[in-house]
Amino acid sequence: MGKRLYRHRNLSYWWCYDLDEIANHCDVHVQTVRAWIKSEGLQTTDSNNPLLVYGLDLIAFLKKQNDKGKCRTAFEQFYCMSCKEACPALQTKVALEQKPNGLCAKAICRTCKSKMNKTFKLNDFQKLKRAFNVVDVSQLYDCEVPTLKTHIDGHSKDNEFESLQGDLV
Residues within the interface to Zn ion (CB under 5 A) = 80, 82-83, 87, 109, 111-112, 114
Residue whose CB is less far from Zn ion, 65 or 77:
77
Q: Taking the complex as a whole, how short is the minimal distance between the CB of residue 95 and Zn ion, in angstroms?
A: 17
Which amino acid is located at 139 in the chain? Q
Q: Taking the complex as a whole, how short is the minimal distance between the CB of residue 146 and Zn ion, in angstroms?
A: 21
Cβ atoms of 136 and 95 closer than 8 Å: yes
Residue whose CB is less far from Zn ion, 43 or 114:
114
Residue whose CB is less far from Zn ion, 19 or 87:
87
Residues near 61 by beta carbon (within 8 Å), at least 6 away in sequence:
36, 40, 41, 42, 43, 53
Q: Taking the complex as a whole, how short is the minimal distance between the CB of residue 112 and Zn ion, in angstroms?
A: 3
Residue whose CB is less far from Zn ion, 112 or 164:
112
Question: Strand ranges (DSSP E) for 39-152?
Answer: 52-54, 77-80, 85-88, 93-99, 102-108, 115-120, 133-135
- Residues 16, 17, 18, 20, Cα dihedral to 10°: 170
Q: Taking the complex as a whole, how short is the minimal distance between the CB of residue 84 and Zn ion, in angstroms?
A: 8
